[in-house]
């Protein structure tokens, strides 16, 4: 109960004004612990595009459990674009009834019954990137609808936004989600166009930093899509903007989509883990080869991604095709990725001073793909790294 102020008595009024506590906006973290570590899950887009359905989502939820992915930490099952076809006369969003005959509530209930969380997609503009109805002008109505269905995660795209202001548009939907009364993770997808790392913390829990990832090592599409190494290059320098509750998002994983070799897939997954990136699988979980399951469920690599300190890894050395990346972990140890982009196997080295240790320090080195302690080393550790591959280490003084 605020203290009464005596504004009729000028001196007392002034005293009251000076002594009253200054109202302080609650920081994002105080009110919101929805994504204290990077969200993990699956999204339909990379593999299925518009070919989404109730059956696909149910089978994917089943596979997330039976493959061991749920146990490894994956939680969100997210339907991307194309589930929506229209609005009714009252402005309610209309679901594609052929593909989702039981409605979204029943589907969300099914996903929840597996102990998983349910996510959906919309767009801040008049239409989504595939021309389906966007949420512009319907933000509060849509958010209320999502909450009624039991949605836990919203990916919000940026197509057909004309001259809309990005921070204002995303703030509006964030307010609508908050007003819906349901706790919903908010994934901002405006491709880094408006430098979201500068304004999105406190609005979204994650924000895309680039155009769309493509299922390839280093291809580039005319419209802006690109292979994973180009996306990686664009993350360098963004590390200070990420932290618990607010993550840079270099886009969903292409592991298991056959455009990358197993060695490249391991590199992609290791680097996304080191970047504290959201780990959203983008492949068909119902038909994974054992090597793909091994990559997606490597618990030691996932532990690096989910480390409670919430630091994003950074590039500590760039020798052309040979790059050393490192991430501080909560116990004072470091995760290190030696990444060889060249066409031949190369010997690579991480030196202690570049990860914040002194040369004279003894440190235990563990290989996170071999699941093997390699011994105690002083000053540096070197290893042969395959072409287009990584060696991923945990170094503990």
Contact 383, 391 (CB under 8 A): yes
DSSP letter string over 87-126? E-TT--EEE-TTT-TTHHHHHHHHHHHTT-EEEEEEESSS
Question: Which one, of 186, 214, 216, 211, lies nearest residue 200 by Cα?
Answer: 186
Whole-number minimum distance, CB 148 to ligand GLA, in Å? 23
Whole-number minimum distance, CB 98 to ligand GLA, in Å? 19
Binding mask 134-163 for ligand GLA (x = CB under 6 A): -----------------------x------
Whole-number minimum distance, CB 249 to ligand GLA, in Å? 10
Which C-beta is closer to ligand GLA: that of 37 or that of 128?
A: 128
Interface pick for ligand GLA out of 32, 139, 142, 212 (rule CB under 6 A): 212
Whole-number minimum distance, CB 283 to ligand GLA, in Å? 15
DSSP letter string over 311-334? PPPEEEEEETTEEEEEEE-TTS-E
Q: Which stretch binds ligand GLA (CB under 6 A): 30-38, 126-134, 145-153, 234-242?
A: 126-134
Residue 383, Cβ density class (10 Å: 0-12 exposed, 13-18 middle, ≥19 buried): middle
Q: Which stretch binds ligand GLA (CB under 6 A): 31-39, 89-97, 125-133, 366-374?
A: 125-133
Which C-beta is closer to ligand GLA: that of 110 or that of 191?
A: 191
Whole-number minimum distance, CB 227 to ligand GLA, in Å? 15
Interface pick for ligand GLA out of 40, 56, 72, 81 (rule CB under 6 A): 81
Phi/psi for 267 (5° steps) reads -65, -45
Question: Which one, of 94, 119, 122, 121, lies nearest residue 108 by Cα?
Answer: 119
Q: What are the distances in angstroms from CA 337 to CA 97, 231, 285, 326?
A: 46, 16, 26, 6
In Å, how far from its chain's centre is CA 38? 6
Active-site residue, 80 included = no
| Active-site annotation holder among 142, 152, 212, 328 | 212
Q: Which stretch binds ligand GLA (CB under 6 A): 101-109, 124-132, 281-289, 311-319?
A: 124-132
Tell me: does residue 129 bind ligand GLA (CB under 6 A): yes
Interface pick for ligand GLA out of 28, 63, 143, 189 (rule CB under 6 A): 189
The three-state secondary structure class of 197 is helix
Spatial distance between the Cα atoms of 54 and 350, rounded to a whole number of angstroms: 48
| Active-site annotation holder among 32, 157, 249, 307 | 157
Active-site residue, 86 included = no
Q: Compute how many residues bind ligand GLA; rule: CB under 6 A.
A: 10
Spatial distance between the Cα atoms of 70 and 62, rounded to a whole number of angstroms: 10
Whole-number minimum distance, CB 213 to ligand GLA, in Å? 8
Q: What are the distances in angstroms from CA 157 to CA 24, 26, 146, 169, 319?
A: 31, 27, 16, 11, 36
Restricting to residues 277-306, name those near ligand GLA by CB under 6 A.
Answer: none
Tell me: does residue 80 bind ligand GLA (CB under 6 A): yes
Q: Which residues bind ligand GLA (CB under 6 A)?
A: 45, 80-81, 128-130, 157, 189, 191, 212
Q: Catalogue the active-site residues.
A: 157, 212
């Amino acid at each position: 109960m605020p203290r009464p102020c005596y504004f009729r008595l000028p001196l007392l009024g002034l005293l009251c004004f000076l002594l009253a506590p200054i109202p302080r906006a609650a920081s994002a973290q105080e009110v919101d612990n929805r994504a204290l570590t990077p969200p993990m899950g699956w999204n339909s887009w990379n593999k299925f595009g518009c070919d989404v359905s109730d059956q696909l989502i149910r089978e994917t939820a089943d596979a997330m459990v039976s493959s061991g992915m749920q146990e490894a930490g994956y939680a969100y099952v997210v339907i991307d674009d194309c589930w929506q076809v229209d609005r009714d006369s009252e402005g309610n969003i209309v679901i594609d009834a052929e593909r989702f005959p039981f409605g979204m509530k029943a589907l969300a209930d099914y996903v929840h019954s597996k102990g998983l969380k349910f996510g959906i997609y919309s767009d801040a503009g008049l239409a989504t990137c595939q021309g389906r109805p966007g949420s512009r002008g319907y933000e509060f109505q849509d958010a209320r609808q999502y909450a009624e269905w039991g949605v836990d995660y919203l990916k919000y795209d940026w197509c057909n936004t004309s001259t809309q202001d990005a921070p204002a548009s995303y703030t509006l939907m964030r307010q609508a989600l908050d007003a819906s009364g349901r706790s919903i993770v908010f994934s901002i997808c405006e491709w880094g166009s408006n430098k979201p790392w500068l304004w999105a913390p406190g609005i979204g829990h994650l924000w895309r930093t680039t155009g769309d990832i493509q299922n390839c090592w280093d291809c580039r599409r005319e419209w802006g899509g690109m292979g994973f190494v180009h996306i990686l290059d664009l993350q360098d320098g963004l590390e200070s903007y990420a932290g618990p509750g607010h993550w840079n998002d270099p886009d969903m994983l292409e592991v298991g989509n056959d455009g990358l070799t197993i060695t490249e897939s391991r590199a992609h997954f290791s680097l996304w883990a080191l970047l504290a990136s959201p780990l959203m699988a983008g492949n068909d979980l119902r038909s994974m080869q054992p090597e793909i399951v091994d990559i997606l469920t490597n618990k030691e690599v996932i532990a690096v991604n989910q480390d409670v300190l919430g630091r994003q890894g950074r590039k500590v050395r760039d020798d052309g095709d040979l790059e050393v990346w490192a991430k501080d972990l909560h116990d004072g140890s470091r995760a290190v990725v030696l990444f060889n982009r060249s066409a031949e196997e190369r010997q690579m080295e991480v030196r202690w001073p570049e990860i914040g240790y002194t040369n004279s320090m003894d440190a235990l080195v563990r290989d996170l793909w071999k699941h093997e302690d390699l011994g105690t080393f002083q000053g540096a550790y070197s290893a042969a790294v395959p072409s287009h591959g990584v060696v991923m280490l945990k170094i503990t003084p």
